Amino acid sequence: MSVVQSQDTPVTPHLVGGAQGSIEAIHRVVVVDDHELLRAGTRRILDEAAGFTVVGEADDGEAALEVIAQAGPDVVLVDIRLPTMNGIDLARRIIEQYPDITVLILSAYDDEHYVRAALAAGVAGYLLKTTPSDELIRAIRAACDGCTMLDRAPSGRGEKAPPTGGPEGGARLTSRETEVVRLVARGRSNKAIARQLGISPRTVEGHLNHVFEKVGSRSRTELVHYALANGLFVRDPDDRSSPRS
């Protein structure tokens, strides 16, 4: 296990002056990839972009958790294939331990199963390493701003398979899957959904995996649109006081 930590970078968040005296937040990033050249390339892209600074690097899952604990990043970019722990398992652990950190998968694999599993685990987006640098920066910045539109599937994925079964082309969801979709549409995290339904977060992921496959959605955002279009978004009277994390 090795850890590559940035030097001379303060752990506390900091701000810099923007245009016309405005204040621009600096997003602190940790890059997790077992290929040194790819880490260096990603660091260069981020360091050259306004509003980002790389505060740490790691080449495996355990090292990543150590770096995150030390550096306190806002964003973690995670590769899928890592030596000691796959990227989806690592993303899941980060999200469970640090719910305020934005986690993005940055992968070389344009694979439907990886995408569904990553999104079910609660990552903010799944991006390909072939994504142009300007699009990568826009996607990460959107995620930091709370915009989940970057959850779109990677480009070059081909035609989307049509939804299966159900009247008017709608998918046949089980009652439990429907409950999970409704809670996702209300902005609940997997952990909050698990608490509310009395099931484990891994069970929530399993339901979401099935739902993504059934309805043809390739992001949590698309799933929310599906819920709205199919009348599944019903706000509870106590929504204002319900936990979201």
The per-residue pLDDT for range 1-30, each reduced to its tens digit, is 566 665 444 444 444 444 444 456 789 999
Give the span between the Cα atoms of 73 and 65, in whole angstroms: 11
CATH 3.40.50.300 fits 167-241, yes or no: no
DSSP H or E segment with residue 202: helix 201-215
**Which two structure tokens, joined as six digits, stand for 151?**
């959850």
Q: Parse the chain into domains and list their residue ranges.
A: 3-151, 167-241
Instruction: For residue 201, give the DSSP letter.
Output: H
- The per-residue pLDDT for range 167-226, each reduced to its tens digit, is 334 568 888 998 888 888 887 888 889 999 999 989 998 899 888 888 877 677 778 777
Which CATH code is given to the segment(s) 3-151?
Answer: 3.40.50.2300
Can you tell me the distance from the alpha carbon of 184 to that of 224, in angstroms, rounded to the nearest whole number? Answer: 7
How buried is 241 (Cβ within 10 angstroms: 0-12 exposed, 13-18 middle, 19+ buried)?
exposed
166 band by pLDDT with thresholds 50, 70 and 90:
very low
Q: What is the pTM of this model?
A: 0.67
